[in-house]
Amino acid sequence: MHDGEVHIDAELVGRLVAAQFPELTDLPVSAFTSTGTVNAIYRIRDRLYARLPRVQEWAQGLDRECHWLPKLAPHLSLRVPEPAWRGHPTSSYPFSWAIYGWINGQPYTDELVDDKDLAAKDLAQFVVELRRIDPVVGAPRAGRKPLRELDAVTRTGIESADGVIDSDAATDAWERALQAPAWQGTPAWIHTDLLRPNVLVHGGRLTAVIDFGGVGVGDPAADVIAAWSVFSHTGRGSFRSALDVDDDTWNRACGFALHQAAMIIGYCPETNPRFAAMARRTVEEVLTDINGEQKSGTSGALQGATGLWPRQCVRYRFLTRHPVRQPRHVGDPVPPSPSRHTLGLRRLEPHIVASSSKSHRSDREGPGMWAQLMKMRLKPEKEQDLAGVFAQLQALEQPGSGLLRTMTMRDQSDPSQVYVLVVFESEEKARAREQDPRRQEGLKPAQATLAEILDGPPEFVDLIVAQDVSV
């Protein structure tokens, strides 16, 4: 797998164990297959395992882990590796090695966890706990170089992965990440390698984080990569919300995730295809966030709490026009009820951004535009169904309908809470669209689906656009 890799097999490990730890001599030793590239892992019966660095370059990572883990572990709620014995180099194996207590669990997959949002919050809590530990004197520096120092090698890695990933889109995403200011904050404890193989699940819950060979103090963005390397859009918003990540940190983390994934894809596509596949998945999750390509096929989705705005976006400031308290159905006429006050949209993450391909954008911009905000709560696991509903609604739009754009947003603190913002050229066109009998008939299937996936009827607020800022 690596140039200069030493030969390691079960026979060698058995000899090392017998020679250095006689009390373990009679225990069977067997190879354990993993996606890890740094250390070879061997089970010692069912309660222990040995980790042996493959090359000299990474041998110091095991020394670092064995030194610092006992100091960090008492502060962490998830289990971490517990070094039990330290092995020393010999003529047959040239590096330090170690034996640990076995931790039950499997590498993270969406199918293994019972609650993806809870899993995201559990890992976020781990990251917070790690950051809160005082960076004592002598703590090693950790993390990657600033993004701009990684620019050349990352572009090369992305280009070499063309055909495996969408290299043009990945390059565009990388360039967006480069716009984030360089980190100049206070170093915090970071794990630095929160990938799916290093996050263990048992009994439907996150139970442990392993592989602390890169642990140290540095840029906190290093551990935010889990938003893409571990989670899909279902957990990503919860992870960011629980960590309270600002945009600059989020964007740096996105860059780190892209860099690491590109390096993995180019390094071991044949020698470790499972690891390369996980890296490809990370790139796809990043592109899903930025380019908004839902796996369900809905175009124009900006999934997750991205912070990486598309190059062309529109931000609105609204005044409420007709606040309506009673529940209504999608497509029902809007009764006039003049009233104006400032509407604040807070803690909303962009989720689906779409505009009808059949509607015609008007040159009339600004205060003449009219909008409607719908607030609705989804039943569990119904997010993909909502995307299908909006695909149906989009298909109903006719040229000249006056629809400019539809945006669906999720509340970061409560992903089941969804807000739908629909913007029209004018109130007159919006009302004419509502009264179209063909549209009313076409709305019936969508209304029926909404009744099945929503936890209660939606609430409506009608708006006029006070200011439109395009960037």
What is the mean pLDDT of the segment spanning 85-103?
Answer: 95
Question: In the predicted model, is pLDDT for residue 366 greater than 50?
Answer: no
Per-residue pLDDT band for 74 (boundaries 50, 70, 90) equals very high
Q: What element of type H or E holds 163?
A: none
Question: In the predicted model, is pLDDT for residue 192 greater than 70?
Answer: yes
**How far is Cα of residue 343 from the mean position of the Cα atoms in its chain?**
30
Per-residue pLDDT band for 368 (boundaries 50, 70, 90) equals low
201 close to 108: Cβ distance less than 8 angstroms: yes
Distance CA 386, CA 300 (A): 14
Here the tokens at position 1 are 């797998």
Question: In the predicted model, is pLDDT for residue 78 greater than 60?
Answer: yes
User: Where do the H-state alpha helices sit in 56-179?
Assistant: 59-72, 116-132, 151-160, 167-178
Of 117, 171, 113, which is closest to residue 304 (Cα–Cα)? 117
Q: What does the angle CA 384 – CA 390 – CA 394 come to, to the nearest 5 degrees?
A: 145
Per-residue pLDDT band for 269 (boundaries 50, 70, 90) equals low
417 close to 375: Cβ distance less than 8 angstroms: yes
Average pLDDT for the chain = 80
Question: In the predicted model, is pLDDT for residue 52 greater than 80?
Answer: yes
CATH numbers and ranges of domains, the chain: 10-101 (3.30.200.20), 106-289 (3.90.1200.10), 314-470 (3.30.70.100)
Question: In the predicted model, is pLDDT for residue 365 greater than 60?
Answer: no
379-424 residue pLDDT tens = 887 766 777 777 777 777 777 788 887 877 877 667 778 888 888 8
Distance CA 359, CA 392 (A): 15
Distance CA 31, CA 10 (A): 6
Identify the weakest region by mean pLDDT among 63-77, 101-115, 378-392, 450-464. 378-392
Distance CA 391, CA 282 (A): 26
pLDDT at 266 (0 to 100): 79
Per-residue pLDDT band for 292 (boundaries 50, 70, 90) equals low
Question: In the predicted model, is pLDDT for residue 293 greater than 60?
Answer: no
Residue listed under structure tokens 């565009």: 172
Helix (H, G, I), strand (E, B) or coil at 347: coil
Angle, helices 151-160 vs 167-178, to 10°: value is 170
What is the mean pLDDT of the segment spanning 342-361?
Answer: 32
Q: Is 33 left (phi over 0), alpha (psi -120 to 50) or beta?
A: beta
211-227 residue pLDDT tens = 999 999 999 999 999 99
User: Where do the H-state alpha helices sit in 179-272?
Assistant: 226-229, 233-243, 247-267
pLDDT at 2 (0 to 100): 60
What is the mean pLDDT of the segment spanning 371-386?
Answer: 79
Query: In this predicted model, which residue has the larger pLDDT, 320 or 123?
Result: 123
**How far is Cα of residue 214 from the mean position of the Cα atoms in its chain?**
21
Here the tokens at position 193 are 């390698």
Residue listed under structure tokens 């139970």: 207
pLDDT at 466 (0 to 100): 61
Distance CA 252, CA 147 (A): 7
Give φ, ψ of 418 to 5 degrees: -120, 140
What is the mean pLDDT of the segment spanning 314-337?
Answer: 41
Q: How many CB atoms lie within 10 A of CB 111?
A: 6
Distance CA 167, CA 283 (A): 10
Question: In the predicted model, is pLDDT for residue 295 greater than 50?
Answer: no
pLDDT at 87 (0 to 100): 95
Here the tokens at position 262 are 């590109």
Identify the weakest region by mean pLDDT among 152-166, 226-240, 261-275, 315-329. 315-329
Of 235, 210, 209, 278, which is closest to residue 110 (Cα–Cα)? 235
Supply the pTM of this predicted model.
Answer: 0.63
Share of the chain above pLDDT 70, in %: 79
pLDDT at 94 (0 to 100): 94
Question: In the predicted model, is pLDDT for residue 136 greater than 90?
Answer: no
